[in-house]
Amino acid sequence: MHTLVTKSINKASEILISGEIVAFPTETVFGLGALINREDAIEKIYLAKGRAKDNPLIVHISNLSSLDSLVQEIKPNVQKLIDNFWPGPLTLIFKKNNSIGNFVTSGLSTVAIRFPKHKIAQELITQCKVPIAAPSANISGKPSSTKYQHVLEDFEGKIPCILEGKTVHGLESTVIDCTSEPFSLLRSGAIPFERIEQLVGLRKTTGRTNQPKSPGMKYRHYSPKAKVYIVSENSHLPEVSYETSAFIGLRDLETSKIFKKLICKDLDEYAENLFSFFRDCDRESIEFIYCERPEDLGIGKAINERLSKAAS
Ligand code: TXA
Ligand code: MG
C-alpha cells in the first residue's frame, strides 16, 4: 500500500469517509484515526498498531454539541473541566450512550472523549461530520509519534494517509475518570493534574493495587529499543561504552561517558523532546539512554510516568 503524506485536510477526510484510517496531528501527539461509525476501519487501527483488543480508543470531537449524543450525563464538575480545559489536551471518561459501538470502547460501558485544540485536527473532524476514534499513532509499545516522520517510520506501506502538521506538548493528554466522584487521574499528561485537583478535587490514590487504572496502562509503553535508565543528580552511572550511551535531562551530567546529550531548558522542552529523542537514539543504534528524573510536579509527573514505563 502506498502511504500518502499530505497537507490536504479534504483528501484526508475523503479517505476517512471511505472507511480507511488516517494519521493526523493533535497538540499532544499524532493520532491514528477512523470514524466512530466504521467498525471495519476501527478494526484496521488495531491491526496496524498491533494493539490489544481490550484497550479502548479515545473519541475526538470538534464541537461541544456532539457530546450530548455520545454520553449519558454531564455532571456539574465535568462541565467545569470542560469550561476550563476544552478544547485542549484533557481526556474525560463518561458513561457512554448506546450510539457508540462496543468496538470503540472494547465493550466497556464508558467512553473516553477529547476535544483537541489543534486546528488541523478540529477541521478534519468537522469535515468528516462524525467524531474520530484514535489512539496514538505508533506501533503498540513504541514511543508515541510527535512528528509525521515518526508515523512514517512505524506505518509506511501499512496505512493509506498521513496528514502533516506539528504537535506541541510532545506527550499525551491527561486522562480523568469522571464516572464517579471524586474523579480519578488515570494518566498524567499535558495538563498538570494539580490544575484539575484545584478545580474539582481528585480521588486520593491509596498505595499500589494490581488493578490497572485504565485498560491501556497495563501494557508496555513508550519503549525505545535501547535500555532506559532513570537517573537523579547524584546517580552513579554503570560502566558503559561511550559511543552507545545517551542522556536527556535538565542539567548536564559532568561525565565523559556520554556520546549523545540533550539538555532541555525546562520541563515543557523535556516533554516535547522525550519521545523524539528515544526514536533518534534507536536510529543511531544507541544502546543505553539515561534520563534525568524531574520533580514529580506539573508535567514532570507526566514525564516520570513515561520514564517509568519506558524503563520497565
Ligand atoms: O493525547 C492523546 O490522548 C492521544 C491523542 C491522539 O489524542 N491519544 C492517545 O490514545 O494517547 P491512546 O490510545 O494511546 O491512549 C488512551 C488511553 C489508553 O490507556 C486507554 O486504555 C485509555 O486511554 N482509555 C480509553 N478509553 C477508556 C475508558 N473508557 N476507560 C478507561 N480508560 C480508557
Ligand atoms: Mg498510546
Domain assignment present for 125? yes
Are residue 288 and residue 187 in the same domain, yes or no?
A: no
Are residue 62 and residue 148 in the same domain, yes or no?
A: yes
Are residue 198 and residue 239 in the same domain, yes or no?
A: no
Domain assignment present for 214? no
Are residue 137 and residue 180 in the same domain, yes or no?
A: yes
Is a pLDDT exceeding 60 seen at residue 207?
no
Task: Please list the residues that pair with 132 across neighbouring strands.
Answer: 35, 60
Close Cβ partners of 125 (under 8 Å, ≥ 6 residues apart): 60, 61, 62, 131, 132
Tens digits of residue pLDDT in 143-169: 999 999 999 999 999 999 999 999 999
Are residue 111 and residue 59 in the same domain, yes or no?
A: yes
Question: If pLDDT is split at 50, 70 and 90, which confidence band does 205 have?
Answer: confident
Are residue 196 and residue 247 in the same domain, yes or no?
A: no
Tell me the pairing of strands 245-249 and 227-231. unpaired
Domain assignment present for 279? yes
Strand ranges for the chain from DSSP E = 4-6, 22-24, 31-35, 58-60, 90-95, 110-114, 132-134, 161-163, 174-177, 184-187, 227-231, 245-249, 260-263, 288-292
**Stronger pLDDT, 257 or 125, i.e. the higher one:** 125
Q: How far is the CA of 126 from the centre of ligand 2 (A)?
A: 23
Residue 292, domain CATH: 3.40.50.11030
Are residue 131 and residue 277 in the same domain, yes or no?
A: no
Which percentage of the chain shows pLDDT scores above 70?
96
Please name the residue whose Cα sits nearest to atom 7 of ligand 1: 31
Write out the three cell numbers for 51. 494493539
When divided into structural domains, the chain yields a total of: 2
Are residue 231 and residue 272 in the same domain, yes or no?
A: yes
Q: How far is the CA of 258 from the centre of ligand 1 (A)?
A: 35
What residues line ligand 1, using a CB cutoff of 6 Å? 26, 28-29, 31, 55-58, 89, 91, 93, 105, 108, 110-112, 114, 134-136, 172-173, 175, 186-187, 214-217
Are residue 243 and residue 184 in the same domain, yes or no?
A: no
Are residue 166 and residue 231 in the same domain, yes or no?
A: no
Domain assignment present for 220? no
Domain assignment present for 262? yes
Q: How far is the CA of 211 from the centre of ligand 2 (A)?
A: 19
Question: If pLDDT is split at 50, 70 and 90, which confidence band does 209 have?
Answer: low
Question: If pLDDT is split at 50, 70 and 90, which confidence band does 211 have?
Answer: low
Among 171, 204, 237, give the residue marking a domain's end. Answer: 204
Are residue 233 and residue 199 in the same domain, yes or no?
A: no
Domain assignment present for 221? no
For residue 172, what are the domain limits? 4-204
Domain assignment present for 13? yes
Are residue 159 and residue 253 in the same domain, yes or no?
A: no
Domain assignment present for 235? yes
Nearest Cα neighbor of 33 from 113, 131, 165 is 131
Q: What is the pLDDT of residue 149?
A: 98
Tens digits of residue pLDDT in 53-62: 999 999 999 9
**What is the rounded distance in angstroms from the CA atom of residue 248 to the CA atom of residue 312?**
18
Read off the pTM.
0.96
Residue 151, domain CATH: 3.90.870.10
Among 189, 204, 219, give the residue marking a domain's end. Answer: 204
